[in-house]
Structures are given as structure tokens and as C-alpha cells.
Amino acid sequence: MRLLKTIDENILKWFLGIFLFFIPLYMKFPLRNVTFTYISIRLDDFVAILIIAIFVVQLLRRKISFQNLPFKKYFGLYWLILFAALASGIYLTQTIDYTSIGFLHAARRVQYMMLFFIAFASVRSVKDFKFFMYIFLMSLLIVNIYGLGQRLYGFPAISTMNPEFAKGRVLYLTPEARLSSTFAGHYDLGAYLVLLFPLMWGLYFAHEKFILSLREKMFILSAAVLPVLVNVTTVAWLAFGFSSLDLVQIILTTRLFLFILLLTTISATLLLSLKGQIQRWAILGIIILSVIVLVGTASRTSSIAYLVSISGFLLFFKEFRYLIFVLIFSLTLTAFDTDLVQRWARTIQVKQIIINRKTGEQVVVQKIRPDELPAGTAFVGEGSALDTKASALLKQELINKATMSGSASSAADYQTYSAVAGDISISTRLQVSWPRAIKAFLRNPFLGTGPSSITESSDGDYFRMIGETGLLGLVSFFMIFVVLGKFLFDKLRLLRGNAKILVYAVVFGVMGLFINATLIDVFEASKVAYTLWAILGLCIALVHLDKTELEKLS
């Protein structure tokens, strides 16, 4: 009876702990493809549904008080508008071609946000909060080790960056490829790191109060190993007719994952056994590894978000020595990473463009390399320019192609211009993704054209929100963060010591994520979204604890 009571009291906490490891560490192997899209149903969806079911059962049994769940009306309002936008897209604007896909998009957002309430209900003491902080620390360590392993030892990757990769192809990164670690792409990994950087610094400053019992350490160790073990099992399962790998590759991949499993076990054991000042240095080591991996993603948006959020956090607490260290180390590392430097250098480029005055065709004069982003076709300040050797050769090539296709073209039809151009990443947003979202917004300013109506990505979450859910969706989503922020800042005046540091760490991490959201759909990226709402739920739960309990963290 005593064992059953212990399980009943801790089941939600334990399952959340396991799931918080699954979020970043389980790779995006598809279990079932969804028709008409390359979005797939994955194992983590079933784990999420299981933990939501446990939460609902505990709620019905009144083990969790519905009345005590904070901010539920604001979440409920957003969900109501989200499904109103879905209904509007299906029946009013008729912009959702496949109802099931639209429903899946909407349901997944609710699924992500449910973690806020689950995390809140799982923390009843400072001890519970420490337990989850260790999980984030351990997860980040393993993510970093795996990311570096991709660059140094050929650890495999699973990506969803295009429809073919999303089928579950086991990939090996080329030298010019950007790190993705256990994530589906480098952008998601960068956003995840940005969210956790301030929290890791908060744990660094508050390390003396983060001691766990042996039982909790053993649970965390087992939970850390579980998703890696599932990765190994999945690779073996894919070998039987579901993978494009040959037998030799399958054996090598399985061996790699077994090696990673061993490495994970050793790393987790070492970290959990550290205490005092040594533990503090270990946390600093994880932060340094995270910066190296972030630079390896070559994500410009995440780099800016990281520098802004972490600088703001350290300045706020007047940690000037650490700020200088962070800036010098980060900028030096960036300077030595040619990929990231080249991406910054090619964000805005002066290029020669050949324009066919008869057809309007625009071609950029450039050599395409696999390790560089080409210029796009969004130009500013066009002006006539003299032909160079490269432009003259390209012009002749265009004339030859036009002649072969039966079009009558001459050199006079082609004019060479010099203009400022963004790279293909910026141009895609300016010419395709954002105009498409704005067009959707103008079609129905209040509710947009519905979830899934503007494809899987808008390359900017604010444009996606306003396009898919309109002004009502955008405002109701931001209202959640406004009321959360107001509540936290009201409580912060009463907090002292480590509790205050950790709450501000979460605030600055979320600020960094909001910077990321300008160019990336971070709130729909599952690994980032789950982590965000879980951290916010834990943070709100912490400040809800009584003063006596909070003193254990000071």
C-alpha cells in the first residue's frame, strides 16, 4: 500500500521527468506519415498523450485542483480562437484543403501548451523543482556531446528539413553541414540552446543549493539513458525494410548508437556524482560546450538572440566579469568558424544581376558552393553596370539556352545591373513566406486562414500567427505571456537569492526565444515548444511555493 501511495503521489512528476528527457534526446523517427504532408506521427506524440491522460485522470480524481491551475482562462481563450480559426478556414474562407491536417496542426499546439499545467502540477516543493533542473542540465549535456560527435565522429542525424529527409533517413553530416545534434534541424537546436543558456547560468550561480538524493539521481540516470536506448532500438527496427541504409551502414549506425548509449551513461553518472565547487565548474563546462555547439549550428538569428539574452541577464545581476568572458569567448569562437562568418558576410551582398528586358527574367552572377548561401533575387538599388568576364559568359549562356528553346533573344535583350541583394534565406522570407502570410491575414484579418493553411513553415512565427489565426490569435497568444510576465514581476519583488536568479533566467531565456521567433517558427517546433511551456510551468510553480519552502533555495 505504501508503494502504491508513493507511485500515486509521484506518477505525474516521474512521467514528466522521463518526457523532459525524451523531448530533446529522442530523434524524430517517424512512426506514421500523415497523408498530403511530410509531418509525421512520432513516438513522442504518444508519450505526450500518455502524460496528458495521466494529468487528466489525476485532475478527475482531484489529486490536482482545477481551481489552483493558474492562467487557465487565457490559455482557454487562445485555444478557443485557434479552433475558431480552424473552423473559419474550413467553412468560411475554405483555405484548409485537408481538414485532418488542419486539426492536427491545431491539436499539436494545444498538446505543447498542456505541458505548462502538467509542469505546474508536478512541483509541490523546492525539491521537485531541483529535480527538474537537473534533468534540463543532463539533457543539455547529452545534446552537446551528441552534437560534437556529429562533427568529430560521424554520429548520425535525423532531419525533417525536407520531405525526403522527413521519411526517417539516417543521415551523416558533410564537413560543410551545420550541427543539428538530436534535433530535426540546426534552427531548432539553436533555439533550444538560446532558451536554456540563461537558465544554465542561473544554475551556475545557485549550484550550492542543488543537491539530490541517491534515489533521485538513479531515476535521472535511468531516464537519461532511456531515450538513447529507444534511438538504438528504432535504428534496428528501421533496418528491416524501412531504411535506405545497406547492411554495413545499419551495423555501423547501430554500433554508433550503442557507443553513444555508453557515453551517455558515463557522462550522466559523472555529473550526478559531482558536488560543491567541482559541480559548479562542470556546469560552466556544459555552458562552454553549448556555445561551441551553437556556433556549429551557424544560425545567425540564434547567435543574436543568445548574445542579447545572456548579456542582458549578466548585466542585470552586474556580473561584469562573466559578461566579458562570455563576449570574448563567443566572439572569438565565431571568428574562427568560417561557416558562420561567411553566412554573416553574405547576409547582404552587392551582386551583378542580368535581367532579360523582354521577359523580366532575373539571374544573379555568382558561383554556387555547397558551403555558402547563394544570393536571392530580392534586390535594392539597381543600377546599370559594365559587364565583367563572369557576367559576359553567363549572358552568352542565357542567349544560347533561349535560342535552343526556340526563343529569339539577342545580347540587347539582356542588361547587366549592380544591386544590393540578400542571401537566399532572407530573399525567401521577403518574396515568398512573409507575403504569403500577409495575404492570408488580409483575407480574414480577425481569424486568418486557419492552421496549416500557409504550409508547414512561414520562416517567422509572428507572420505565421497573424496569417493562420489573425489578429485575435496573435493578441490572445501574446496575452498569455503578458499575464505570465506581470505575475512573475509582481512576485519577483518578494523573492530573494537563488529563486530570484532562476526566475530572471527563465525570463531572459524566453526573451531570447522571442528574438528567434522573428525568423523561425519556434513556437511550433516540438522540441522547443515542449521545453518552453514546461520551463514556464515550473517557473510559475516555484514562485507559488510558500515563503518557508522558498527559503530552502536561498
Report the 10 Å Cβ neighbour count for 65.
Answer: 9
The one-letter amino acid at 273: S
208/210 Cα distance (integer angstroms): 6
Query: For the chain, what are the domain ranges?
Result: 2-66+78-341+447-553, 345-443
393/391 Cα distance (integer angstroms): 5
75/83 Cα distance (integer angstroms): 13
Angle, to 10 degrees, between the axis of helix 300-316 and the axis of helix 186-205?
10
- Give the helix/strand (H/E) hosting 33: strand 30-33
- Give the helix/strand (H/E) hosting 41: strand 40-42
Q: Which residues pair with 40 in a beta bridge?
A: 33
3-state DSSP: the chain helix, strand, coil percent, rounded to 5? Answer: 70, 5, 25
Q: Which three cell numbers stand for residue 483?
A: 499575464
CA neighbor of 384 nearest in space, from 412, 414, 358, 416 = 416
Are 528 and 181 in contact by the 8 Å Cβ rule? The answer is no
Which is it for strands 348-356 and 414-423: parallel, antiparallel or unpaired?
Answer: antiparallel
How many residues in the chain? Answer: 554
State residue 192 phi and psi, 5-degree precision.
-60, -45
Q: What is the DSSP string of 329-366?
A: HHHHHHHH-HHHHHHHHTSEEEEEEEEETTT--EEE--
Q: What pLDDT tens digit does each residue of the chain (554 aa) get?
A: 787 888 888 999 999 999 999 899 998 888 777 776 777 888 889 999 999 999 999 999 999 988 888 899 999 999 999 999 999 999 999 999 889 999 999 999 999 999 999 999 999 999 999 999 989 998 999 999 989 988 888 888 888 877 777 777 778 888 778 899 999 889 999 999 999 999 999 999 987 666 677 777 788 877 877 887 787 677 666 655 444 445 555 555 666 666 676 677 777 777 667 677 788 888 999 999 999 999 999 889 999 999 999 999 999 999 999 999 999 999 999 888 777 767 766 666 666 666 666 665 666 656 656 555 555 555 554 545 555 555 555 555 656 666 665 565 555 566 666 666 666 777 778 788 899 999 999 999 999 999 999 877 778 899 999 999 999 999 999 999 999 999 999 998 888 889 999 999 999 999 999 999 999 999 999 999 999 999 999 999 999 998 888 887 86
470/450 Cα distance (integer angstroms): 8
Residue linked to cell 498523450: 49
497/501 Cα distance (integer angstroms): 7
187/190 Cα distance (integer angstroms): 5
348/333 Cα distance (integer angstroms): 22
CA neighbor of 338 nearest in space, from 372, 369, 303 = 372
pTM, two decimal places: 0.90
In the chain, how long is the greatest CA-to-CA distance? Answer: 90
354/361 Cα distance (integer angstroms): 8
The distance of Cα 371 from the centroid of its chain, to the nearest Å, equals 23
Q: Which three cell numbers stand for residue 365?
A: 552572377
